[in-house]
Structure 1
Amino acid sequence: MLNLFARAHVNRLSDPVGRALIDRGVSPDTVTVLGTVGAVVCSLAFLPTGWLALGAVLVTLFVLTDLIDGAMARARGHGTPFGAVLDSTCDRIVDGALFAGLAWWALTGGAEPLAGAAALVALVGGQIVSYVKARAESVGLTAEGGLVERAERLILGLVGAFLSGVGVPWALTVTLVVLAVGTAVTLGQRILAVRHSSREAPRA
């Protein structure tokens, strides 16, 4: 949902950085991989051990590289099929590491079982939401949009972790429960979108 409203504003900030990196010979794929490795390491090193605020800040910084590699592709004038697959794969890896780290903490040291359960729902549901879109596109259908896409998942998870890390009670539980419910709604929306698309598609 945020993609519809924020993309143009974000691009105005990220495009100059992307052009500068391309001018220096940096590959978008390199930025994608480095950002993914950094986000995964921070998610699994800081979040499960209770360093929620620091972990959320560091993961956010690495996640922002996802904006930069797209800006680099635009600056270069084209993307590549390999780059598109790599980017989507790395997105799924980062999402999995983030919510696995939050679930790990919530179910162990954090002693917040509801937050842990919601994190697992968000983890699995987010992967399925992305899969539905990819599978639909592979057979010529569409499954765009929805209440909670990747940007919303990351924002809710990271904001909840940060607020919990600085002592706001129930912040992580509330944000993750909202995210879990929103993810379920989004999955339903995408299934309906695929059904609508299949009815409009010409019969083979």
Structure 2
Amino acid sequence: MAKIFQVSARAGMTRVVEPVARGLLKAGVTPNTVTVAGTVGVLVGALGFGARGHLVTGALIVTVFALTDLLDGTMARMSGGSTRFGAFLDSSMDRVADSAVFGAVAYWLATQGDYPSVAAALLCLAVGGLVSYVKARAEGLGMTCNVGIAERTERLLIVGVGGLLTGLGVDRALPIALWLLAAVSVFTVGQRMVHVHRQARQLEPGGQR
């Protein structure tokens, strides 16, 4: 059910994004430009606002610019497919943006003296990087790894909603979101490890390693 909802939501977003992507391409804007601009926007929202306690503004800015991750991919597809450098740049900028978001959250929580939640934010950052690494490593070895309940978009959405609710006065919403995110991220790593292990057993001589 979660996977069906995820696919439906992304399909809906694609219908909204495609006209924007087409317009930007006609204007001469490249997917790589959108990738960098989106990252800069996330940095402004996270470090310029979120880290200073302006959680509502920060969450809204980060959410808007995080959507460029879908926009640049759509533009690349429309222009004939992603280049090797484009794929490399997109992945690298994602890591920069994620570090800014969770680093800003951890910093703000530290200023509030909520050190258990700081630990949760740092755990989300570390495990989130592992989620991406497992997929990249699997694909580098010639396997697929398109599974998991908490991919990058879902992770940013969870922390964004937590920050937004906390900024609106809902007590403990952000810490709860962080611990939830840490749990689903760990589960996603496990899902991907199992998925890759099954493929590897079929590919390795003798079916085992």
Interval containing the TM-score (normalised by the shorter chain): over 0.9
Tell me whether 1:61 sits opposite 2:95 in the alignment.
no
Tell me whether 1:9 sits opposite 2:8 in the alignment.
no
AA of the residue aligned to 2:69:
D
Tell me whether 1:191 sits opposite 2:188 in the alignment.
no
TM-score, with structure 1 as normaliser: 0.94
Of residues 67-76 and 145-154 in structure 1, the stretch that sits farther from structure 2 once superposed is 67-76
AA of the residue aligned to 2:139:
E
- Aligned residue among 64, 72, 78 for 2:81: 78
- Aligned residue among 8, 25, 29 for 2:28: 25
Of residues 126-135 and 57-66 in structure 1, the stretch that sits farther from structure 2 once superposed is 57-66
Residue equivalent to 1:40: 43
CA offset digits 1:37-80 (Å, max 9, x no partner): 12112211211211111111111111112222122112223221
In the TM superposition, 1:63-142 aligns within 5 A as 63-108=66-111, 110-142=112-144
Q: 5+ residue gaps in structure 2?
A: none
Considering Cα pairs closer than 8 Å and 6+ residues apart, tell me whether 1 or 2 has the greater RCO: 1
Give the distance between the partners of 2:146 and 2:77, measured in 1 at CA. Answer: 22
AA of the residue aligned to 1:88:
S
SS for the counterpart of 1:147 is coil
AA of the residue aligned to 2:157:
I
Q: Given that residues 17 and 71 in structure 1 are in contact (C-alpha distance below 8 angstroms), is that contact kept between their aligned partners in structure 2?
A: no
Of residues 117-126 and 36-45 in structure 1, the stretch that sits farther from structure 2 once superposed is 36-45
CA offset digits 1:149-202 (Å, max 9, x no partner): 111100011110111111110100111110011111111111111111101225
TM-score, with structure 2 as normaliser: 0.92
Shift of 1:3: 4.7
Give the distance between the partners of 2:180 and 2:19, measured in 1 at CA. Answer: 35
Residue equivalent to 1:200: 202
Give the distance between the partners of 1:95 and 1:22, measured in 2 at CA. Answer: 26
Q: CA RMSD in A?
A: 1.6
Matched-pair identity in % = 46
Q: 5+ residue gaps in structure 1?
A: none
Count matched residues. Answer: 203
SS for the counterpart of 2:82 is coil
